[in-house]
Amino acid sequence: MENGAWGYMMTDPVTLNVGGCLYTTSLCTLQRYPDSMLGAMFRGDFPTTRDTQGHYFIDRDGPLFRYVLNFLRTSELTLPYNFTEMELLRKEADFYQIEPLIQSLTSTKPLYPLDTFEEVVELSSTRKLSKYSNPVAVIITQLTLTTKVQSLLEGVSNHFTKWIKHMMDTRDFQVSFTFGPCDYHQEVSLRVHLVDYISKQGFTIRNTRVHHMSERANENTVEHHWTFCRLARKVDD
């Protein structure tokens, strides 16, 4: 086989079905560690199974294979800050027999630098709805953004000038913007833009929740909450 043809085959996409999750990568990535199970499998030394779509099938934990594959791509172990399935991932690394990954998972050094901390942004939406309208009508709605990240608040202040907003108190170093009141369509538009802006600053949604409570016989209040987090390096005072 000519070198050019071999190089094409090594980079040609390969799709794997791992426990029902589909992953597409290159043959070169899967063979990064020749002594591993995947190296042997795609060298032809290990039997393979195909699913009904013709994808290579591996009966293992599908979501956790994401971290295995990323390690094959970079030779570095990168996990979410709140990762809680370390023992399961060790078992996956042992199954695939990727020795460098096994060593990384048994290392005693912290996954993240000790001089980092977590920055949090809270976004909440409060809507008061009329139960007697058909369809249900929004009487009043507003959004509140709360965070300790001053640069984010400055960015919101500069980028969302057309929206009615009020500064809230700064107790415990938490600073809040309250937007509104506004109608439902304005609230949805503002929320979409806020979520997009916060995400572009490196934050990811950690969790969401919805709370319903009745205030009076003819009104319901619905509260939506989103929590965004990102890692940041501590700065000495």
Q: Token pair of 152, please? A: 């984010």
The predicted structure's pLDDT at residue 138: 65
pTM of the complete model:
0.49
94-128 residue pLDDT tens: 999 998 898 888 865 555 565 667 788 999 988 88
73 or 138, which is more confident: 73
CA distances, 218 to each of 123, 132, 182, 214 (Å): 27, 7, 20, 9
Long-range (24+ apart) CB contacts under 8 A made by 77-83 are 77/101, 77/104, 77/105, 77/111, 79/111, 81/112, 81/118, 81/229, 81/231, 82/206, 83/111
What mean pLDDT is predicted for residues 179-200? Answer: 86
What are the chain's domains?
Answer: 3-106 (3.30.710.10), 116-233 (no CATH)
pLDDT of the residue at 25: 92
